[in-house]
Amino acid sequence: MTMTANHAPVWVKSTYSNGQGAECLEWAPQHAAATGEVLVRDSKRPEGPRLSFTEGDWRSLVALAKAS
């Protein structure tokens, strides 16, 4: 990911987060729209690792999760 301090992604909590600090997933929708790269992270560890998906891979992962 090539981001400067002035262009850091804006993170948004998943609508499936329960609001009590558990199972919180965040993603950067503006970054995805601008670049086609879907960034995902654990909101409890914002400085921790991030996952990066292509839009197609992200759609496939979501479809698989919905089918389970």
The string of pLDDT tens digits covering residues 16-39 is: 666 665 668 899 999 999 999 999
User: Which amino acid makes up residue 28?
Assistant: A
Q: pTM for the whole thing?
A: 0.76
Which phi and psi (to 5°) does residue 27 adopt? -140, 170
d(CA 19, CA 9): 22
Q: Is the pLDDT of residue 1 over 80?
A: no
Q: What is the pLDDT of residue 19?
A: 62
Query: What Rg do the C-alpha atoms of the chain give, in angstroms?
Result: 12
Evaluate if residue 4 carries a pLDDT over 50: no
Confidence band for 14, pLDDT divided at 50, 70 and 90: confident
